[in-house]
Structure 1
């Protein structure tokens, strides 16, 4: 691919947009929330333990109820998840992550629409975005939408 003035301009604008996004209040809030979670030694330890338990959970899921540790792992993963869910710092980090994702989705949609109205932009959670059909286009055409 040849580098033209037009491509250089696009790259420069993309770098400017990146700098603007990275210096935004939303991203700054995310950085603060991330630092608050991962500088807390006990909380970081809990997250690592939960990650290890998730790996055990995935192993147990392969065998289902026939795995010897099924009941222990299932109970333990729920207890650890609940503890993390109820932690105020983790909740703030999740909110900040969602805010950053929403910002990126909005910017992505604006950029896509500036290229063409027919550009499809995957954005956010499929459960919360509106579409032309209620069940989503992954329903095998049963919704009779014009996907």
Structure 2
């Protein structure tokens, strides 16, 4: 006979799982990378500049290509984005963020499937998404669900 699971049991197990995530290597690397970006003056200046340019872009985006500064502002935003993405502390942060996201997606999938194989868990990862589709998605099976 199965033991009845109470809300208290679920909360307790959830807190244990949260503690395990906070002790994981992925989380530790994420925190280190996050602190490195926060303490890097050049990174902070680039982020500030990118945010400013992005706001400018959103303003010209309202008019699209008909705005006189659309091409210039669009190009500046793309160049700054690329510069940000290639800057080492930010690249390391993004990589650690992705690894933590993958861990959380795996855990979400495991928790959902512990309840029912039919639960869909959008992970953003095609490998895991294909595993989580339990059918009934309305695409006629083109997504790979059964």
Match of 1:74 in 2: 74
TM-score, normalised via structure 2 length: 0.82
* Distance (whole Å) between structure 1 residues aligned to residue 81 and residue 5 of structure 2: 52
How do 1:1-147 residues align onto structure 2 when only pairs under 5 Å count? 6-125=6-125, 131=130, 141=139, 144=142
Count of residue correspondences: 138
Which is further off, 64-73 or 34-43? Answer: 64-73
* Distance (whole Å) between structure 2 residues aligned to residue 51 and residue 73 of structure 1: 12
Question: Which 4+ runs in 1 deviate beyond 4 A?
Answer: 142-147
* Aligned-pair Cα RMSD in Å: 2.6
- Which residues of structure 1 form unaligned runs of 5+? none
Contact 1:101 1:124 in 2 (8 A): no
Higher RCO by CA contacts (8 Å cutoff, separation 6 or greater): 1
